[in-house]
Structure 1
Amino acid sequence: MTVLAILDLTFLDWKLGPSPLRDWLVALGVALAVALALRLARTLLERRIEPLVERARFEYADALVETLQDTGWLFYLAIGAWTGSRFLDVPEKVAPWLRGAVVVVALFQVGRWGHGFVRRAVERWAGARAEGDEGPRHERQTMAAAVSFLFRLAIWATVLLLVLANLGVEISGLIAGLGIGGVAAALAVQNVLGDLFSSLSLYFDRPFDLGDFVIVDDFMGTVDRIGMRSTRLTSLGGEQLVFANSDLAKSRIRNYKRMEERRIVTGIGVVYGTPHEKVRQVPAILREAVEATEGTRFDRAHFHRFGAYSLDFELVWWVLSKEYDEFMERQQAILLHVHRRFEEEDIDFAFPTQTVQVEGQVPLEAGEGMRSMLREGLRADAAE
């Protein structure tokens, strides 16, 4: 007597649809085995990847690992069911529906992976950008949420279109209709959309941060707020300046907050009557003034040119600070030092003068000629 006869396993030959019960049990076993194997493979993969992530230079590697944890059991079971169906006589009418269901589940799982990775990556990216940023936290969170939403919207829109295409829906007309509607909507709100995308551009490119002192064309001030549509500055006079983000994206911006040192070019002129030996001393005096001032670095000092009314010297030096108040203090100290040394060396500063020559008389300097004319006028008044 056979084992099957003893156990009375003839029921395995019962038909459930086109396949016997034996095949159904095999398919079920294969489906569960594949699902469990995929789940186990994910666990092993996570354990193997974690040490690599710690040494990886890719800053979003940990986000990838966490994204793997978003894999749901429905995905495992769908892959297992599709594998198990290979052991069944699936009717031709049912096979496309089974394959379509598995593809739909797989597409939604891909969308879930993309959703999770974008959310985590944007959070890490925004957190890294916020280090050292003294601006309001809610503004950074709002901008990061907007960026994350746009990316996730694009992911799910793509997944939805692929699902509809897999289900046999003609999506070319739908895409064309959405395109026409999108163009019409974009034209209606093009200024708002321009500011919105410009704000994203400013957020990603980061030409300035909250608290930075910037100059935009003829306007200057400290950045107070970077919004979705506009950016606000507080000027030196205290009033608020509001710029559309689209205007800022097109403008040339000078950011003074990010400089570490300030380069200064100072011009000094002495009179033409200065003796040659004293002219040769001027560059050394200028260098001495810079080196005697704390927080500065000398670059160069030269006799620059013969000016219209002076012998022009050019002094180039650096302030080892980005603060404007410190620059003014250092500049004042240097100029006072130069003034004192010029007095000691009997070197005269030049100022705009012109020579007035009256026909038949010796040329007089403008100042001396004016004084002579005044004296003559006073004598004439006294004689009368």
Structure 2
Amino acid sequence: EKVNKVIFYLFTVATVIQIAIWLREIILAFVERRAQQSGSESDTLSSAMALIRIAVSFALFSVAAIVILSNLGVNVSGLIAGLGVGGIAIGLAAQGIFSDLFAAISIIFDQPFRRGDTISYDTTTGRVEKIGMKSTRLRALSGEQKIISNSKLLEKEITNGTMTDHRRTNFVLGLVYQTPASVLSTLPQTLREIVEAEDLDFIRAGMTAFSPSAFDFQLVFDVKGDDLDQLFEARHKVALAIIDRFARDGIAFAYPTQTTFTAAPDGTLVMPFAGQPASAPKAPRKR
């Protein structure tokens, strides 16, 4: 009977440990395969895999130890309660670190962006330089480095400009109120010709508002690709082409203007009012 008990205990220990090892390898193999498919940067992935391996091993072998002790007749209720309280305490003490760690793992596997992508969040636009376990580093278009924690970054709406196949551009053109209606009616076609001459995709053009000093026209066109330098160059060429075409056609751009009317003490309009002679008498001063 004693031999049978020893064999039973040894068989239980071996079986539980073997199952824990198999589960660990299956989970880690799945995670590594998913990470390789994501094509994430190697240094961050190595750090993540090391932490994942430790966490999975600790969790599985803790459960295995409890199962073994329970089969050996040991009361494990206190042990389970202690592990639960300890886990809660550790979780509360390091919740910020764990939240950033899980956010980094989410970025690696879910891939909302990769290193080298240009992203925008809040009012910042920059290129991703490094995805770390605690924070992500961006190089802003103005040159400075932006550092934001992974958990805070994922809480915001992120625009990944690298994933787009085109960039849309809007121009608002203000024309003087003296522009004839015949010119205004042909202006959309003129703008289409300018945009298509630069091998860009014309979307729409038309009058949008009567502003205080001008007729407002809006031009919308697309630039193929996601390169910001290409977008900047395309905007520059279109702007110069519009200026050249408007100069040849005699179309004038508007600028903020204001007319001032001067009145005499009795309310009579004086110069620069066009209806009065240039030598209008001065009004007497009151004493």
TM exceeds 0.5? yes
Which among 289, 314, 321 is matched to residue 225 of structure 2? 321
Deviation for aligned residue 1:280: 0.4
Which of 193, 204, 210 is the matching residue for 1:300? 204
Q: Is the 8 A contact 1:355 1:363 kept in 2?
A: no
Residue among 134, 147, 151 paired with 1:242? 147
Q: Identify if the C-alpha distance between structure 1 residues 147 and 288 changes in structure 2 by more than 3 Å, giving closer, same or farther.
A: farther
Residue 285 (structure 1) aligned to one of 178, 185, 190: 190
Q: Which amino acid aligns with 2:21?
A: R
Q: Deviations over 1:187-213 (max 9, x none)?
A: 333332332233223323322211122
- What secondary structure, in the 3-state scheme, does the structure 1 residue paired with 2:239 have? helix
Structure 1, residues 329-367: CA drift from partner, whole Å, max 9, x if none?
1111111222122122211111122222223338969xx
Counterpart of 1:257 in 2: which secondary structure? Answer: helix
Q: Which has the higher helix share?
A: 1
Aligned match for 1:224, one of 122, 129, 134? 129
Q: What SS does the aligned partner of 2:269 have? A: coil
Cα distance in 1 for residues equivalent to 2:228 and 2:162:
10
Return the letter of the residue paired with 1:128.
Q
The structure-2 alpha-carbon separation of the partners of 1:153 and 1:363, relative to structure 1 and needing over 3 Å to count, comes to farther
Structure 1 counterpart SS, 2:163: coil
Deviation for aligned residue 1:270: 0.9
One-letter amino acid of the structure 2 residue matched with residue 159 of structure 1: A
Structure 1 residue 297: Cα displacement: 1.0
User: Do the aligned residues in 1 keep the contact of 2:34 with 2:109 (CA within 8 Å)?
Assistant: no
* TM alignment of 1:349-360, pairs within 5 A: 349-359=253-263, 360=268
Select which of 5, 14, 22 maps to 1:113. 22
Matched with 2:239 is 335
Query: Paired residue for 1:311, among 215, 224, 231?
Result: 215
- Deviation track 1:277-296 (CA, whole Å, cap 9, x = no partner) reads 001011111111111112x2
TM-score (norm 1): 0.64
Is 1:192 the counterpart of 2:94 in the alignment?
Answer: no
Q: Does 1:104 align with 2:13?
A: yes
The aligned amino acid for 1:268 is: L
> Taking structure 1 as reference, are residues 362 and 126 closer, same or farther at Cα in structure 2, changes over 3 Å only?
farther
Residues 362/297 of structure 1: CA separation in 2 closer, same or farther (3 Å cut): farther
Measure the CA separation in 2 of the matches of 1:299 and 1:163: 70
Compared CA separation, residues 278 and 237, structure 1 to 2 (3 A)? closer
Residues 179 and 257 of structure 1: is their aligned pair in 2 closer, same or farther, counting only changes over 3 Å? same
8 Å Cα contact 2:205/2:219 also seen in 1: yes
* Cross-structure match for 2:178: 273
1:297-334 Cα shifts (integer Å, max 9, x gaps): 11111221222221111111111010111001111111
| C-alpha distance in 2 between matches for 1:261 and 1:292 | 18
2:153 counterpart letter in structure 1 = L
Give deviations 1:92-117, integer Å, cap 9, x for gaps: x7666544543433322221221222
Residue pairs, 1:1-384, within 5 angstroms: 91=1, 98-130=7-39, 135=41, 137-294=42-199, 296-359=200-263, 360-361=268-269
Judging by fraction of residues, say which structure has more strand: 2
Cα distance between partner residues in 1 of 2:187 and 2:250: 11
Q: Is the 8 A contact 2:206 2:218 kept in 1?
A: yes
Computing the radius of gyration from Cα coordinates, the structure with the larger value is: 1
**8 Å contact from structure 2 (residues 44, 133) kept in 1:** no
Aligned-residue Cα RMSD (Å) equals 2.7
2-side partners of 1:149 and 1:355: how far apart? 77
CA distance in 2, matches of 1:363, 1:191: 72
Higher relative contact order (CA 8 A, sep 6+): 2
Judge conservation of contact 1:285–1:338 (CA < 8 Å) in 2: no
Distance 1:362 1:162 in 2: 103
- Contact 2:35 2:108 survives alignment (8 Å): no
CA distance in 2, matches of 1:153, 1:259: 42
**How many pairs does the alignment contain?**
272
| TM-score, structure 2 as length reference | 0.84
Percent same amino acid among aligned pairs? 35
1:128 to 1:310, Cα distance in 2 relative to 1, 3 A: same
User: Counterparts of 1:248 and 1:312 in 2: how far apart (Å)?
Assistant: 38
